[in-house]
Amino acid sequence: MSEHYHIPLQQFIDYLRFEKRYSAHTILAYQTDLEQFFAYLKSQYDGINILEINTPMIKSWLAEIKGDDISSRSIKRKISSLKSFFKFHLKLGHIKVSPVATIIAPKISKRLPSFVEERDMNTLLNTLDFEDSWEGKTERLVLLTFYHTGIRLSELINLPIQQIDFHYNQIKVLGKGNKERIIPITSELVQSLQEYMSERIMIPSEFNTLFVTEKGKTLSRSRVYKLVKLNIGKVSTIHKKSPHVLRHTFATHLMNNGAELNAVKELLGHSSLAATQVYTHNSIEKLKDAYKKAHPKA
């Protein structure tokens, strides 16, 4: 990437990292989108600088990537990355108008979050056999922690040992935007954590994270994705099988068993209630199902 692409991009990335305090995963997503856009500009308009970027250029790039059969969700995210980037430089006075201002992101139909049924989660955690090895114990505890706490993948991977409080039976989680929240933990999870940690101290590691591999390294995102997908596939036929599905499962099961929406919001670490309200739809679907099965006139 040439100099006049690199400088404004790096400024923006530093802003996301140090001022907005976004996670490394979110920053990488922004950076990837923007680098892809700049690579397109360089191939089409060699030598262009930030002041010369206009709306037709952006539209032509979006038209090209649409041709690559990219989903509406991905297109929307790329437009969002561009909007944030140009808004930042507009604020600094580097440009006079944002070339993305008039571009409208595609509408995305809201889908209900996928989740694993309660009976299937019970089968997964209480009936399936896990290997009696460090890898097997880590695998089961990862699944148990996701389901019992609803934490995000990045939060689980980076969870420090000292954030587990056995005196009050809770964990302290550092979420998006460095927002801290406290999640109560069940006696079942407490016992499993204590058993795991009694062996964890025997593994030489330079990391202070709870979860480590047999070689003392932190767990990779891909490794956790793989183990979650494999194990959900053993008990459920749902299409999506990811760590985020276990977060949805945690929230949906709470709602289905009478938890208040505000409490679920706090446990998930959502900044607004709107993000949590999607789980009420799953509860309503369950009520409709119960109605159809039980009402004589249904």
Residues belonging to the active site: 152, 176, 244, 247, 270, 279
Residues in Cβ contact with 58 at an 8 Å cutoff, skipping those fewer than 6 apart: 37, 82, 99, 100, 103
165 pairs with which residues across the strands? 170
C-alpha distances in Å from residue 298, one per residue of 204, 289, 293: 61, 10, 8
On whether the CB atoms of residues 57 and 99 are closer than 8 A, the answer is yes
Longest dimension (CA), the chain: 73
Full strand arrangement of the beta sheet holding 164-165: 164-165, 170-174, 180-184
The β-bridge relationship of strands 170-174 and 180-184 is: antiparallel
Please list, in sequence order, all residues whose beta carbon lies within 8 angstroms of the beta carbon of residue 93, skipping any fewer than 6 positions away.
none
CB of 235 closer than 8 Å to CB of 123: yes
For residue 140, give both structure tokens. Answer: 């089961």
Identify the H or E element spanning 101. none
Phi, psi of 156, rounded to the nearest 5 degrees:
-70, -45
Task: From 123, 122, 138, select the one nearest 195 (Cα to Cα).
Answer: 138
C-alpha to C-alpha distance for 241 and 76, rounded to whole angstroms: 23
